[in-house]
Amino acid sequence: MLVRNLDFLSIPKEFSKVEVEIHDKQSISLVYIENKGYSLVLKDDNKIDSVFLLKTDILPNNVNDHHDREDFINIIKMLLDKIYSVADIKEYEKQHQEHVFLRLMDMLTDGDAVDVITEENSDIYSDIEKGFMKLEIDILENKINALNSSLSDMSSNLQNTVNEIEENTWGNKIRKTINQQ
Protein backbone atom coordinates (compact mmCIF):
# COMPACT_ATOMS: atom_id res chain seq x y z
CA MET A 1 0.00 0.00 0.00
CA LEU A 2 1.29 3.48 -0.89
CA VAL A 3 0.42 6.36 1.38
CA ARG A 4 1.15 10.01 0.67
CA ASN A 5 0.44 12.93 2.97
CA LEU A 6 -0.35 15.97 0.85
CA ASP A 7 -0.51 18.49 3.69
CA PHE A 8 2.34 20.41 2.07
CA LEU A 9 -0.07 21.19 -0.78
CA SER A 10 -2.80 22.59 1.44
CA ILE A 11 -3.37 26.29 1.02
CA PRO A 12 -5.04 28.61 3.56
CA LYS A 13 -8.68 29.34 2.76
CA GLU A 14 -8.14 33.11 2.97
CA PHE A 15 -5.46 35.34 1.50
CA SER A 16 -4.64 38.93 2.39
CA LYS A 17 -4.40 41.29 -0.57
CA VAL A 18 -3.18 44.89 -0.85
CA GLU A 19 -2.92 46.98 -3.97
CA VAL A 20 -0.96 50.04 -5.07
CA GLU A 21 -1.89 52.07 -8.12
CA ILE A 22 1.21 52.76 -10.16
CA HIS A 23 0.20 54.70 -13.27
CA ASP A 24 -2.91 55.32 -15.36
CA LYS A 25 -5.19 52.57 -13.98
CA GLN A 26 -2.29 50.13 -13.77
CA SER A 27 -1.62 48.62 -10.37
CA ILE A 28 0.35 45.99 -8.54
CA SER A 29 -1.40 43.76 -6.03
CA LEU A 30 0.42 41.77 -3.39
CA VAL A 31 -1.35 38.69 -2.07
CA TYR A 32 0.04 37.12 1.09
CA ILE A 33 -0.46 33.37 1.43
CA GLU A 34 0.39 32.41 4.98
CA ASN A 35 3.18 29.81 5.31
CA LYS A 36 3.58 29.66 1.53
CA GLY A 37 4.65 33.02 0.17
CA TYR A 38 3.20 35.72 -2.02
CA SER A 39 1.64 36.42 -5.33
CA LEU A 40 2.37 39.59 -7.26
CA VAL A 41 -0.38 40.56 -9.67
CA LEU A 42 -0.04 43.21 -12.35
CA LYS A 43 -3.40 44.68 -13.28
CA ASP A 44 -4.30 46.95 -16.15
CA ASP A 45 -7.69 48.61 -15.66
CA ASN A 46 -8.66 45.83 -13.18
CA LYS A 47 -7.82 43.12 -15.72
CA ILE A 48 -5.09 40.70 -14.72
CA ASP A 49 -2.03 41.12 -16.91
CA SER A 50 0.59 39.00 -15.08
CA VAL A 51 0.69 36.80 -11.99
CA PHE A 52 3.88 35.72 -10.24
CA LEU A 53 4.14 33.28 -7.34
CA LEU A 54 6.96 33.77 -4.85
CA LYS A 55 7.66 30.89 -2.51
CA THR A 56 9.45 32.53 0.38
CA ASP A 57 9.35 32.75 4.15
CA ILE A 58 9.58 36.55 4.27
CA LEU A 59 7.02 37.83 6.74
CA PRO A 60 5.29 41.17 6.08
CA ASN A 61 6.52 42.56 9.40
CA ASN A 62 10.12 41.37 8.94
CA VAL A 63 11.45 42.12 5.47
CA ASN A 64 14.90 43.46 6.34
CA ASP A 65 18.03 41.39 5.78
CA HIS A 66 16.17 38.42 4.28
CA HIS A 67 17.96 36.44 1.58
CA ASP A 68 14.91 36.59 -0.77
CA ARG A 69 14.40 40.34 -0.43
CA GLU A 70 16.44 41.35 -3.50
CA ASP A 71 14.77 38.74 -5.72
CA PHE A 72 11.36 39.96 -4.53
CA ILE A 73 12.28 43.57 -5.33
CA ASN A 74 13.64 42.57 -8.74
CA ILE A 75 10.28 41.03 -9.68
CA ILE A 76 8.55 44.27 -8.66
CA LYS A 77 11.10 46.15 -10.80
CA MET A 78 10.25 43.92 -13.74
CA LEU A 79 6.55 44.70 -13.31
CA LEU A 80 7.26 48.43 -12.99
CA ASP A 81 9.42 48.31 -16.12
CA LYS A 82 6.55 46.68 -17.97
CA ILE A 83 4.18 49.45 -16.87
CA TYR A 84 6.63 52.25 -17.66
CA SER A 85 7.73 50.80 -21.01
CA VAL A 86 4.47 51.96 -22.63
CA ALA A 87 3.98 55.09 -20.51
CA ASP A 88 5.17 58.54 -21.42
CA ILE A 89 6.33 59.55 -17.96
CA LYS A 90 9.35 61.45 -16.71
CA GLU A 91 12.02 59.43 -14.94
CA TYR A 92 11.70 61.30 -11.65
CA GLU A 93 7.95 60.55 -11.54
CA LYS A 94 8.47 56.81 -11.71
CA GLN A 95 8.07 54.86 -8.49
CA HIS A 96 11.11 53.03 -7.21
CA GLN A 97 10.80 49.25 -6.84
CA GLU A 98 12.07 49.16 -3.26
CA HIS A 99 9.60 51.84 -2.19
CA VAL A 100 6.74 49.92 -3.79
CA PHE A 101 7.90 46.75 -2.02
CA LEU A 102 8.10 48.47 1.37
CA ARG A 103 4.75 50.21 0.90
CA LEU A 104 3.02 46.92 0.03
CA MET A 105 4.57 45.19 3.04
CA ASP A 106 3.66 48.09 5.33
CA MET A 107 0.08 47.97 4.08
CA LEU A 108 -0.09 44.27 4.96
CA THR A 109 1.45 44.86 8.39
CA ASP A 110 -0.64 47.89 9.27
CA GLY A 111 -3.87 46.43 7.93
CA ASP A 112 -4.39 49.46 5.67
CA ALA A 113 -6.69 48.60 2.79
CA VAL A 114 -6.22 44.85 3.24
CA ASP A 115 -8.80 42.80 1.38
CA VAL A 116 -9.43 39.22 2.42
CA ILE A 117 -9.91 37.09 -0.66
CA THR A 118 -11.43 33.63 -0.74
CA GLU A 119 -12.50 31.21 -3.40
CA GLU A 120 -16.01 32.64 -3.26
CA ASN A 121 -15.16 36.33 -3.66
CA SER A 122 -12.12 36.34 -5.97
CA ASP A 123 -11.33 34.97 -9.41
CA ILE A 124 -7.61 34.92 -8.74
CA TYR A 125 -7.85 32.76 -5.59
CA SER A 126 -8.12 29.49 -7.51
CA ASP A 127 -5.33 30.50 -9.90
CA ILE A 128 -3.02 31.18 -6.95
CA GLU A 129 -4.08 27.97 -5.19
CA LYS A 130 -3.46 25.82 -8.26
CA GLY A 131 -0.24 27.71 -9.00
CA PHE A 132 1.21 27.02 -5.56
CA MET A 133 0.27 23.34 -5.81
CA LYS A 134 2.00 23.15 -9.19
CA LEU A 135 5.00 25.04 -7.79
CA GLU A 136 5.34 22.53 -4.91
CA ILE A 137 5.16 19.63 -7.36
CA ASP A 138 7.75 21.28 -9.64
CA ILE A 139 10.08 21.77 -6.67
CA LEU A 140 9.75 18.07 -5.79
CA GLU A 141 10.40 17.08 -9.42
CA ASN A 142 13.53 19.26 -9.51
CA LYS A 143 14.80 17.65 -6.32
CA ILE A 144 14.14 14.17 -7.74
CA ASN A 145 15.91 15.06 -11.01
CA ALA A 146 18.90 16.45 -9.10
CA LEU A 147 19.06 13.29 -6.99
CA ASN A 148 18.84 11.07 -10.08
CA SER A 149 21.59 13.10 -11.74
CA SER A 150 23.81 12.76 -8.68
CA LEU A 151 23.20 9.02 -8.55
CA SER A 152 24.00 8.72 -12.25
CA ASP A 153 27.24 10.69 -11.80
CA MET A 154 28.21 8.59 -8.80
CA SER A 155 27.46 5.37 -10.70
CA SER A 156 29.52 6.55 -13.66
CA ASN A 157 32.43 7.53 -11.41
CA LEU A 158 32.23 4.17 -9.65
CA GLN A 159 32.24 2.33 -12.99
CA ASN A 160 35.29 4.32 -14.15
CA THR A 161 37.09 3.47 -10.91
CA VAL A 162 36.26 -0.23 -11.33
CA ASN A 163 37.50 -0.14 -14.94
CA GLU A 164 40.78 1.51 -13.90
CA ILE A 165 41.32 -1.09 -11.16
CA GLU A 166 40.63 -3.91 -13.61
CA GLU A 167 43.01 -2.40 -16.19
CA ASN A 168 45.72 -2.01 -13.56
CA THR A 169 45.14 -5.56 -12.30
CA TRP A 170 45.31 -7.03 -15.81
CA GLY A 171 48.28 -4.83 -16.69
CA ASN A 172 50.12 -5.97 -13.57
CA LYS A 173 49.37 -9.64 -14.31
CA ILE A 174 50.63 -9.29 -17.89
CA ARG A 175 53.81 -7.52 -16.70
CA LYS A 176 54.47 -10.21 -14.11
CA THR A 177 53.96 -12.91 -16.72
CA ILE A 178 56.28 -11.18 -19.19
CA ASN A 179 58.92 -10.51 -16.52
CA GLN A 180 58.88 -14.14 -15.36
CA GLN A 181 59.60 -15.46 -18.84
SS3 117: strand
Residue 158 to residues 22, 150, 161, 164: CA-CA distances in angstroms? 58, 12, 5, 10
Residues above pLDDT 70, as percent of the chain: 85
Can you tell me the distance from the alpha carbon of 14 to that of 8, in angstroms, rounded to the nearest whole number?
16
Which of these, 49, 3, 31, lies nearest to 114 by C-alpha position?
31
Can you tell me the distance from the alpha carbon of 36 to that of 42, in angstroms, rounded to the nearest whole number?
20
| pLDDT score recorded for residue 139 | 80
* List of residues 6+ apart from 124 with CB closer than 8 A: 31, 39, 41, 48, 51, 117
For 5-162, list the strands marked E by DSSP.
Answer: 15-23, 26-33, 37-44, 47-55, 115-117
Strand order of the β-sheet with 37-44 is 47-55, 37-44, 26-33, 15-23, 115-117
Query: Is the confidence at residue 1, as pLDDT, over 60?
Result: no
pTM above 0.85, yes or no: no
| pLDDT score recorded for residue 174 | 66
| pLDDT score recorded for residue 130 | 80
Domain boundaries, the chain: 12-123
pLDDT in tens, 45-58: 888 888 888 888 88
